[in-house]
Amino acid sequence: MVVLLSGSGTLLQAVLDAAQDPGYGVQVVAVGADRDDIEGLRRAAARHVPTFVERLRDHPDRAAWDAALADRIGAYRPDLVVSAGFMKILGSAVLATHRVVNTHPALLPSFPGAHAVRDALAHGVTVTGCTLHAVDAGVDTGPILAQRAVEVRAGDTESSLHERIKVAERELLVTTLPGLARVHPLDQP
């Protein structure tokens, strides 16, 4: 699989750690990012996983960036692409040529978008969590593959709640990926 990220790469690290067990059944063949000089790329390099960067600003428009990203991903011939903290919306070129899943820090369909944890707190929910879903053309609208609940505690801040969600998100991704990796690449989740 190819993992796409935009930041620290803690989800990637969880997968890389699990993949050290030959019985895990998942291999990260490359890590792609939309920014240079981020911790996630350093995590991949430390494990000798090839990396690439495809920055939006290096292209005349979003469609050109998406086509270039699809080509970069395709060079590694992955069975699956995992958007793990990748903070860009993937377009039709990537989605037409690759099976993509995404992690999201809320129990979709509630609280889609980039501010899910803040939105959950603002709405006063007592339970939120994380979702692994197939990526489609919408924003966090693809079919739900797995979810894990996280209790919202009295006194939670956006930061404290997000940290607990990240723990659940890493566990959810690591436990769900082997089953997804066994699905034939042409079968959509």
The residue among 25, 34, 90 whose CA lies nearest residue 63 is 90
61-73 residue pLDDT tens: 999 999 999 999 9
> pTM of this prediction?
0.93
76 close to 2: Cβ distance less than 8 angstroms: yes
75-119 residue pLDDT tens: 999 999 999 999 999 999 999 999 999 999 999 999 999 999 999
22-60 residue pLDDT tens: 999 999 999 999 999 999 999 999 999 999 999 999 999
What does the alpha-carbon distance between residue 183 and residue 188 come to, in Å, rounded to a whole number? 8
Known catalytic residues are 104
Question: Side chain identity at 186, as an amino acid letter?
Answer: L
Banded model confidence at residue 181, pLDDT cuts 50, 70, 90: confident
Instruction: Give the angle subtended at the CA of 38 by the CAs of 33 and 43, to the nearest 5°.
Output: 90
